[in-house]
Amino acid sequence: MDPSQIQIGIRVPAFKARGIFGKEVDFEALVHSGRPVILAFWSKYCKACVEKFSALVALQTKYEPQGLQVISVNTDGEYREGEATIRDFLGAIEAQRKITINFPVIYDDKNWIPHALGINFLPTIIAVDAQGRVLDFYQKFDEAGEAEILAGIEALVKKVVATSPRGAPAPGPAKP
């Protein structure tokens, strides 16, 4: 496998950032808290990326009780779009689809996070294990519709929730 390509098991670099809607994100603290984490990398110029937003919102809502935290990372920094442009773009998506983005969106103006992970393809959605490593990833752009998008990403979410100390179901009562 090409070492410049994303690989399962590599460590996700620690980062702290303020999301474009004002929410602070401390990735390392999230991982250490035992919360299952999904990182979604996207560009507004990537139609397949934008198509994933409704599914990500639905999955954040569905799996929030298990501690899921989706973190969206916008990679349009190379185009010098700026946070305000991306915020306006997402506002239009919310209005058009009648959704509310319920997770932090980070504008990575230097694209250092995707570069550090070897992400050369968008969209890329990563499940992060409890040690802060890539557990698995999803890179698909040809799904037939919303149901297929949801199913593909949900398989990744279920995997990370099942392996997370906080996301795993509590053990049943001890048997005598």
pTM for the whole structure:
0.89
Residue 9 resides in a domain: no
Report how far residue 107's alpha carbon sits from residue 20's, in angstroms, rounded to the nearest whole number: 7
Domain encompassing residue 74: 16-163
Tell me the per-residue pLDDT of 91-102, one tens digit each, with 9 for 90 and over: 999 999 999 999
Encode pLDDT of 43-99 as tens digits: 999 999 999 999 999 999 999 999 999 999 999 988 888 999 999 999 999 999 999
> Residue 175: what residue type?
K
What is the domain-level CATH number for residue 152? Answer: 3.40.30.10
pLDDT for position 4: 63
CB-side neighbour CA atoms (13 Å) of 94: 11
CB 164 within 8 Å of CB 132 = no
127 domain residue, yes or no: yes
- Crossing angle (nearest 10°) for helices 53-63 and 146-163: 40
Per-residue pLDDT tens digits for 148-160: 999 999 999 999 9
